[in-house]
Amino acid sequence: MTGATPKRAPARDTAAIAGPGRAPADQPGTLADRIRRSFMGSVGSIVFGMEDGTVSIFGLVFGVAAAAPDSHAVLLAGGTGAIAAAVSMMAGTFLDVQTANDQAEAQIAEERARYEADPDQAEADARRRMVSAGFTDSEAATVTGIMSKHPDTRLKIAAAVDLGAGEATRQNPYVQSVWMFVTDLFAAAVPVIPFALFTLATARIVSLAVTFALLVILGIGRARIGHRRTLPTVIQTVGIAAAAAVAGIAVGKLIS
């Protein structure tokens, strides 16, 4: 996390809130708080990873189940595919986040070099952009004058506004990739696990039911994150998975 560290409340205040003998659940710096903040910062990756894992393995499982002689064959194919897909998504996420961070660093370095090469021109450009955005000349001059006294802050602001490469865009590639692996693997396991517990015919029904329930939850999550209408988003999420299942079944029938 970047930015200022939240100040801790006095010990007597936190104790009063938490109750005698209890630590506050959201006390900054605790393991639970760090996990919570990591989760909230990675929620987009989590939902994407779960949806990807569910849809891809759901299609694979039902494609194999259409021609498999028993549940064991489906379990073997689904389990192998789930692990392979989770590792692939983890690696892809790590490289994607790392590349985005490197690009942000390079853009900030370019902005720094441009400012150091010609500070007056850089400030004039900044004033012009502010005026075009609605600032008065005096307001723009005041802001640029203040920023010129804090060059590091000025570079961060310029990168965030002009390049979209501010601190808020940077993420920890290790955290993001771990969240992606865990959530992708969990979601991919949902349609597979019934085949470890039931006969083929029963497992198909149970797998369909639990996968449908998970997809509805993911659709609601997508709607909340993207501030979209819930029902159309849920229908879209379930529809994508259904299309994957139909494609998998069609391929399974053709091959068998």
CA torsion through residues 91, 95, 97, 98, sign: positive
Q: DSSP H helical segments within the chain, as ranges?
A: 11-18, 31-41, 43-65, 71-117, 119-132, 137-148, 151-158, 173-189, 194-197, 200-226, 230-255
Element of type H or E holding 192: none
- Are the C-beta atoms of residues 155 and 111 closer than 8 Å to each other? yes
The length of the chain in residues reads: 256
Cα 28 to Cα 48: distance, rounded to the nearest angstrom: 28
Return the domain boundaries, the chain. 45-100+172-255, 102-169
Per-residue pLDDT of the chain (256 residues; tens, 9 = 90+): 344 444 444 443 433 333 444 444 444 567 667 667 766 666 767 777 788 888 888 888 888 888 788 899 899 989 999 999 889 888 888 888 888 888 877 777 777 777 777 777 777 777 787 788 788 878 777 877 777 676 666 666 665 555 554 444 567 788 888 888 888 899 899 999 999 999 998 999 999 999 999 999 988 888 888 888 999 989 988 888 888 888 877 877 777 6
pTM over 0.85: no
- Are the C-beta atoms of residues 24 and 53 closer than 8 Å to each other? no
Structure letter (DSSP) for residue 166: S
- Are the C-beta atoms of residues 184 and 83 closer than 8 Å to each other? no
> What integer pLDDT is reported at residue 196 of this predicted model?
93
Q: Six-digit token pair at 36?
A: 């919570």
- Residue for token digits 């985005």? 100
- Are the C-beta atoms of residues 51 and 225 closer than 8 Å to each other? no
Cα 120 to Cα 33: distance, rounded to the nearest angstrom: 45
- Are the C-beta atoms of residues 210 and 190 closer than 8 Å to each other? yes
The number of beta carbons lying within 10 Å of the beta carbon of residue 213 is: 11
Structure letter (DSSP) for residue 2: -
> In this structure, which amino acid lies at residue 210?
V
> What integer pLDDT is reported at residue 205 of this predicted model?
92
Task: Convert 131-165 to b/e letters by CB count within 10 Å (16 or more is b).
Answer: eeeebeeeebeebbeebeeeeeebbbbbbbeebeb
- Are the C-beta atoms of residues 119 and 111 closer than 8 Å to each other? no
